[in-house]
Amino acid sequence: MRVVLSGGGTGGHIYPALAVASQCAEEIPGSEFLYIGGKRGLESSLVPKQGIPFEAIDITGFRRKLSFDNVKTILRFLKGVQTSKKLLRAFKPDVVIGTGGYVCGPVVYAAAKLGIPSIIHEQNAIPGLTNRFLSKYVSTVAVSFEGSGSAFPSARHVVYTGNPRATTVCAADKRKGFETLGLPESSSIVLVVGGSRGAKAINEAMVQMAPLLKQSEHLQFVYVTGDSYYASTVEAIKAKTGDLPANLQVLPYVHNMPEVLACTSLIVNRAGASFLAEITALGIPAILIPSPNVTNNHQEKNARTLENSGAAEVILEPELTGGSLYASIERVMNDLPRHNAMSTASRALGKPDSAHLVVEELRRLALNGQSRS
């Protein structure tokens, strides 16, 4: 099967696409891939490292306010459609999948206009502008949250697959996670992550919370700051405590996050859809601090989905302090029945076979496309 993948801007759009490619290669040996991404997005560096052929188009997103830049964006979109058509005609894919980000717009739209079976995957509970636009043209819309298909009233076909990234973490070896952190396998680990680039509000709360950690010596805290916040955060914690608490590790980045997640007892993080797919696949209780700086406040909707199912506590950013975060951690980690119930609820939301379900839909669309040709 020949598959074109598109998705970009952030890891939340790229990693699901890579998970689909990996699963497709496993299930359908001999599959060939082409990834079409943006020139400026993270995908331009991540995808080639995975050995997947990569082509770039020049595209930007719309500004929410009236701006002449939107005229330039429309022109880039039209040029991106032309470039995408050339790439698609040359590669001759059986199916095209877009996993989000504005780069998907011209690629998937071009596929639809060429009559190539196409699918978009929506990671969030509230769909983004690009996927709402594309849903009118594609063969299938795949969603990560059960019931969220109602957000696509114009779609021809909607299927609930979950997020393909969930499949990736299920294969992770938690022993390697303990080894990465240099901790014994009996450790209870509270992992705090602000996202791949970090989060200022979470950094500030962690600095405030650091003096309290000596009260929880039975827990090991691992804080991933993001590269840009690492040095200043370490310095700020040392200024408050004299030195880093013995049960706190501060890291700029974790390159093998699936393994570290597999050995985690409680996660504190934003509410990006791909990360939530990972933690529910593993059944990790969560304290979620949704970012307020996202389109349609979709992270809070993502977080409330877990909270309403009993899998997470939610702290909105205006309510976030070192004290409120520490109290929430204590509530979960010092109440074993509550921790176990949250873990069970989290696992019930997970779909470890997500990547397989997406590949099955790709296979179905490709076969249907071949039967019509």
Q: Which residues are annotated as a binding site for UDP-N-acetyl-alpha-D-glucosamine?
A: 10-12, 124, 196, 299
E-strand ranges in 229-366 read: 248-251, 266-269, 286-288, 312-314
Give the total residue count for the chain: 373
The token pair that represents 234 in the structure block: 């370490």
DSSP secondary structure string, 300-312?
A: HHHHHHHHHTTSE
Annotated binding site: 10-12, 124, 196, 299
- Contacts with 308 (C-beta within 8 Å, 6 or more apart), sequence order: none
User: What is the spatial distance between Cα 123 and Cα 126, in angstroms, rounded to a whole number?
Assistant: 9
Judge contact between 303 and 40, C-beta under 8 A: no
Work out whether strand 2-6 and strand 312-314 pair parallel, antiparallel, or are unpaired: unpaired
User: What is the spatial distance between Cα 361 and Cα 34, in angstroms, rounded to a whole number?
Assistant: 18
User: What is the spatial distance between Cα 285 and Cα 313, in angstroms, rounded to a whole number?
Assistant: 9
User: What is the spatial distance between Cα 366 and Cα 238, in angstroms, rounded to a whole number?
Assistant: 57
Which residues, listed in sequence order, are joined to residue 287 by a DSSP beta bridge?
268, 313
Q: Counting beta carbons within 10 angstroms of the beta carbon of residue 242, is it exposed (0 to 12), middle (13 to 18) or buried (19 or more)?
A: exposed
Judge contact between 4 and 342, C-beta under 8 A: no
DSSP secondary structure string, 221-236?
A: EEEE--GGGHHHHHHH
- Contacts with 29 (C-beta within 8 Å, 6 or more apart), sequence order: none
